Amino acid sequence: MIRAPRKTALWYAAMIHRISGVALALFLPLHFLVLGLAIEGEAALDGFLIWAELPIVKIAEFGLVFLLAVHLFGGLRVMALEFLPWSPRQKTYAAAAVGASFMAGVGFLLSAAS
């Protein structure tokens, strides 16, 4: 059996895509909890929104947007692997996807801070 080489840029891209998917799946119950607070009433949601203004929560939101962007661009990379011919430029695309994800997260963080 032929095994794929480990510790290459594309291997890291695949691992980041998988880890971001698991992290987003773990976040989903918290998201549903907040939606439930909105249904319960205005007071419960207002209490959460006050808590959500803390700097640590804003940093966590950056992480969430980063994970969403990484997962999106990683999924696009996987689709490219499936539908496009193999090319050596894929390492560059994987690095660009992580960079674009980071920039999306920073953009969100800067917009949330203002």
Q: Kindly report, residue by residue over 7-57, the tens digit of the pLDDT.
A: 777 788 888 889 999 999 999 888 888 888 888 888 888 888 898 889 998
pLDDT recorded at residue 37:
83
The predicted model scores a pTM of: 0.61
CA angle centred on 35, ends 34 and 38, rounded to 5°: 90
Q: Where along the chain do its domains lie?
A: 24-53, 55-114
Would you say 6 and 67 are in contact if contact means Cβ atoms under 8 Å apart? Answer: no
DSSP annotation of 54: S
Return the axis-axis angle of helices 9-40 and 55-83, rounded to nearest 10°: 130
pLDDT higher than 70, residue 1: no
Tell me: the pLDDT tens digits for 75-110? 887 887 777 776 767 778 877 888 888 888 888 888
* Helix, strand, coil percentages, rounded to 5, for the chain: 85, 0, 15
